[in-house]
Amino acid sequence: MAKLKVGIIGGSGYSGGELLRILLFHPQVDLRLVTAHEQAGRRVDEVHPNLRHLTDLRFAETTISEEFGQLDCLFLALPHGESMALVPELPDGVKLIDLAGDYRLQDAETFARYYGRRHASFHLQSQFVYGLTEINRERIRRARRVANPGCFATAALLGTAPLIARGLIEGPVIVDAKTGSSGSGAKPAANTHHPRRANSFFAYKAFAHQHRPEIVQTLRAVNPEWSGRLILQTHSAPMVRGIFATIYGRLGRRLVWEELRDLFEQFYADCFFVRLVEGSPDVNWVKQTNFADIGWAVDGRDVIVFVAIDNLMKGAAGQAVQNLNLMFGLEEQTGLVFPGSHP
């Protein structure tokens, strides 16, 4: 088949850089266009020096032109709140994958509460399919517009969905999640600047993280009878990449480790990028990959699930390319099969 003509809007940030790293070597992609606000006119490898000698692309202005209409797919790797202003102007014939949170939530009031702004084009939200690949695969195959999941949401949902789908959790789900500094984007702020985070550990956004309603919304779709009680607490960890989520729940009946193994194996039987491990996963083994490693422990009715992902890959760009593959009838793992490093 002819290569897909692809563009990236907002390619100068961390997620945009990861999209570039993947798509430049994707066997079915012809990367035609990369835009950026402040970096327009500069060579891509000036901004992303890891790509030196690998591309001659330059960042273009984010201005809608005829070139956009000639593309098969556009990735939007913009800060939250920018996609909703741009999407109404984009050509209808181009498939979209939005890595921001603008079109993930199905309720406008919930969006305003958690994102701190009114939605500028909420009438388009119903056109977007939620892009958690392992749970929404068939809808993504048919989609023209996909809302890529948040990084914490990806980890939390992969760990809880098998249990919620079977109705095994009784009472609230507690997600205790840690992330590296790259999750806050390329521009440093008071709580994301390296001197603040390098040798520190702290919690943030208690009861207010924007990924919480996204998780609840998706778990209710997995099992409409679920109570919807979820506590998400996020933490800044002294690392650059990775998310580690520890998920606590109370089972409705006593189970042993092997029964949970069978449950996870059945649920993820066709999911190449989910790896089940004994004991605890480690973020080092998933860094720079699209894999999600899941482990668990159980004591009677008390269950703990552990999930490790790379926040910029399975939590952002890698999953976005996974969705691209589905949307265009390619093998799901095309261009994404590479291991992490050891050590």
Q: What is the CATH number of the domain that holds 207?
A: 3.30.360.10
What total of structural domains would you count in the chain? 2
For residues 42 and 182, membership in a common domain is answered with: no
Alpha helix positions (H), 25-150: 44-47, 66-69, 83-86, 108-115, 133-142
For residues 271 and 198, membership in a common domain is answered with: yes
SS3 278: coil
Predicted confidence at residue 245, as pLDDT, reads 98
Residue 217 CB contacts under 8 Å (≥ 6 apart), including other chains: 104, 105, 106, 130
Residue 185 CB contacts under 8 Å (≥ 6 apart), including other chains: 13, 14, 79, 192
Which candidate, 65, 82, 64, 61, places its Cα nearest to that of 15? Answer: 82
Residue 145 lies in a domain: no
Residue 338 lies in a domain: no
Question: Sign of the C-alpha dihedral, residues 172, 135, 342, 310?
Answer: negative
Residue 278 lies in a domain: yes
For residues 111 and 230, membership in a common domain is answered with: no
For residues 55 and 117, membership in a common domain is answered with: yes
Predicted confidence at residue 188, as pLDDT, reads 60
Predicted confidence at residue 70, as pLDDT, reads 94
Predicted confidence at residue 62, as pLDDT, reads 84
Residue 321 lies in a domain: no
Helix (H) or strand (E) holding 246: strand 243-250
Distance in angstroms (rounded) separating the CA atoms of residues 259 and 257:
5
Residue 319 lies in a domain: no
Residue 283 lies in a domain: yes
Based on the residue annotation, tell me whether 271 is a catalytic residue of this protein: no
Range of the domain at 21: 4-127
For residues 157 and 119, membership in a common domain is answered with: no
Q: Which of 151, 163, 177, 309 is catalytic?
A: 151
Distance in angstroms (rounded) separating the CA atoms of residues 143 and 332:
15
Neighbours of 296 (CB within 10 A): 23
> Residue 33 maps to which CATH number?
3.40.50.720
SS3 336: coil
Residue 188 lies in a domain: yes
Chain CA centroid to CA 153, Å: 7
For residues 193 and 300, membership in a common domain is answered with: yes
pLDDT per residue of the chain (343 residues) written in tens, 0 to 9: 799 999 999 999 999 999 999 999 999 999 999 999 888 889 999 999 999 999 999 999 888 888 889 999 999 999 999 999 999 999 999 999 999 999 999 999 999 999 999 999 999 999 999 999 999 999 999 999 999 999 999 999 999 999 999 999 999 999 999 998 775 555 566 666 666 767 789 999 999 999 999 999 999 999 999 988 999 999 999 888 999 999 999 999 999 999 999 999 999 999 999 999 999 999 999 999 999 999 999 999 999 999 999 999 999 999 999 999 999 999 999 999 998 888 7
Predicted confidence at residue 88, as pLDDT, reads 96
